[in-house]
């Protein structure tokens, strides 16, 4: 990332990330399509409404590991092989501990959170079953993201793609076997996901045990270096707080959607599944910009950092908006993949045609946040996103729904808050001497 064509380096790094996330999204959608087709609307509502709760559970832990990726990337850019090795082993050890904690928390807290979300009684049994089985895969989820974060910090986004290919195929085949062939319930869909995640985590870890490089993992060295962990947490905690609080905000949004009944849950949940595809180029370029920025800041190549970040922002915005336009046009077909219920389809299409043309704002915010994280200044995106995507979003929905009790009022929360965060990020990016201010710190 520190030499050669900027555009080529970013694109070649982002493409495998995009393909990997595409596969991951496809097998998430496959869960919902198969469940909706064979198990009905209530089961579909349980599965498709899972995103906000899963993000709340996993987002905090994965946010912590952003600090590890930044430290590894900086050490690699500075050619500090010992620093890379210590940071990688610390990340793996912390990943094991965090994954076990997440699993226990998910098993205990799931039914309580679902009740706080106002999950309808006819959906509750399926939701509890689905979420608790997903929670069993908490260790696999965190450990996979830890291992792949190490690869990505080193500039390698291809190996995680290979593991996701295997995972996606496994998940879809198991879904079909468990539900379509054996006639099992929503728990089987969750089980298929956990098995697939565990497989990908094992493949990634086994590769780290054999890889030729300073990030190779040795069992005897897996321990926490407390000074390095503190450095990682100083960078990662703001992102973790941001993820968890935004996750909480999304749970609040989901609670308001739940109040409109199972059809609303299924329709909005189906939309959110398809919306995940719009996030793919956004998150790919955001992650690429984090790695690009961290390595070039480590190598003290500040002008290269500025050029690369501007290119990445333009690509992220452009790709997101193209997908948004396509989704706007073909929303009925896409939502119709999940269900044949016309009321559910109408709800999902209405949400799509309220939000999709504003995806460029979502792209702008995430790409700029990725740049700032790569530079180690994670508090800036944390405060901006907490203010806009959490505090303002919750306040808006809480007040607005009382005066206009229509689900469209909830839909509008997203483009409004994306606009606010984009304005604040743009002001900061162009007004602050951000590269050199990071260098001084």
Residues whose CB falls within 8 Å of the CB of residue 403, separated by 6 or more in sequence, listed in order:
none
Tell me: pLDDT of 149 over 60. Answer: yes
How many angstroms separate the CA atoms of 201 and 37, rounded?
30
The whole-number pLDDT of residue 56 equals: 65
Tell me: pLDDT of 419 over 90. Answer: yes
Which letter, b or e, does each residue of 371-390 get, where b requires 16 or more Cβ atoms within 10 Å of its Cβ? bbbbbbbbbbbbebbbebbb
- Contact (CB, 8 A) for 27 and 171: yes
Positive/negative CA dihedral, 280, 285, 288, 290? negative
If one counts every other C-beta atom within 10 angstroms of the C-beta of residue 279, the result is 18
Q: How many domains does the chain have?
A: 1
How many angstroms separate the CA atoms of 290 and 149, rounded?
11
Tell me: pLDDT of 423 over 80. Answer: yes
The range of the structural domain enclosing residue 103 comes to 6-432
If one counts every other C-beta atom within 10 angstroms of the C-beta of residue 213, the result is 14
The whole-number pLDDT of residue 127 equals: 79
The whole-number pLDDT of residue 329 equals: 92
User: 438 lies in a domain?
Assistant: no
Tell me: pLDDT of 438 over 60. Answer: no
Concatenated DSSP letters for 99-123? HHHHHHHHHHHHHHHHHHTT--TTT
The whole-number pLDDT of residue 440 equals: 42
User: 441 lies in a domain?
Assistant: no
Q: pLDDT digit string (tens) for 269-313? A: 788 877 877 777 888 888 888 888 887 877 778 888 888 888 888
User: 212 lies in a domain?
Assistant: yes
Q: pLDDT digit string (tens) for 354-390? A: 999 999 998 999 898 888 878 777 788 888 888 888 8
- Contact (CB, 8 A) for 39 and 123: no
Tell me: pLDDT of 439 over 60. Answer: no
User: 128 lies in a domain?
Assistant: yes
- Contact (CB, 8 A) for 171 and 30: yes
User: 437 lies in a domain?
Assistant: no
How many angstroms separate the CA atoms of 50 and 190, rounded?
11
Q: pLDDT over 70 for what percent of the chain?
A: 93
How many angstroms separate the CA atoms of 410 and 389, rounded?
13
- Contact (CB, 8 A) for 412 and 253: no
């Amino acid at each position: 990332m520190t030499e050669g064509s900027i555009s080529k380096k970013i694109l070649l790094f982002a493409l495998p990330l995009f393909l990997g996330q595409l596969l991951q999204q496809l097998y998430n959608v496959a869960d919902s399509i198969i469940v909706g087709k064979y198990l009905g609307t209530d089961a579909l509502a349980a599965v498709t409404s899972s995103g906000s709760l899963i993000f709340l559970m996993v987002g905090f832990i994965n946010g912590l590991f952003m600090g590890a990726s930044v430290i590894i990337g900086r050490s690699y850019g500075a050619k500090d092989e010992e620093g890379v090795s210590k940071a990688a082993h610390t990340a793996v050890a912390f990943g094991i501990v965090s994954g076990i904690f997440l699993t226990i928390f998910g098993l205990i807290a799931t039914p309580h959170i679902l009740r706080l979300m106002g999950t309808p009684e006819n959906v509750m049994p399926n939701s509890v079953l689905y979420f608790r089985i997903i929670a069993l895969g908490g260790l696999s989820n965190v450990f996979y993201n830890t291992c792949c974060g190490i690869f990505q910090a080193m500039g390698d986004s291809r190996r995680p793609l290979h593991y996701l290919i295997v995972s996606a195929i496994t998940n879809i085949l198991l879904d079909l076997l468990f539900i379509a062939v054996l006639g099992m319930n929503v728990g089987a869909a969750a089980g298929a996901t956990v098995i697939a995640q565990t497989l990908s985590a094992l493949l990634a870890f086994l590769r780290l045990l054999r890889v030729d490089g300073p990030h190779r993992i040795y069992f005897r060295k897996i321990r926490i270096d407390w000074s390095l962990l503190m450095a990682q947490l100083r960078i990662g905690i703001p992102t973790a707080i941001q993820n968890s609080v935004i996750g909480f905000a999304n749970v609040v949004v989901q609670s308001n959607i739940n109040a409109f009944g199972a059809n609303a849950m299924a329709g909005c949940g189906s939309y959110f599944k398809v919306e995940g595809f719009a996030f793919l180029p956004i998150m790919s370029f955001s992650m690429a910009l984090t790695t690009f920025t961290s390595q070039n800041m480590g190598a003290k190549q500040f002008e290269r950092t500025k050029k690369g970040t501007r290119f990445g922002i333009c690509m992220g915005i452009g790709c997101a908006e193209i997908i948004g336009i396509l989704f706007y046009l073909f929303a009925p077909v896409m939502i119709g993949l999940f269900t044949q219920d016309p009321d559910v389809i109408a709800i999902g299409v209405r949400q799509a045609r309220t939000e999709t043309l504003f995806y460029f704002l979502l792209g702008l915010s995430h790409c700029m946040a990725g740049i700032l994280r790569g530079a180690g200044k994670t508090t800036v995106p944390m405060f901006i996103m907490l203010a806009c995507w959490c505090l303002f979003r919750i306040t808006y929905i809480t007040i607005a729904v009382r005066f206009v009790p229509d689900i469209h009022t909830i839909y509008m929360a997203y483009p409004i808050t994306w606009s606010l965060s984009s304005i604040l990020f743009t002001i900061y990016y162009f007004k602050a001497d951000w590269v050199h201010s990071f260098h001084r710190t």
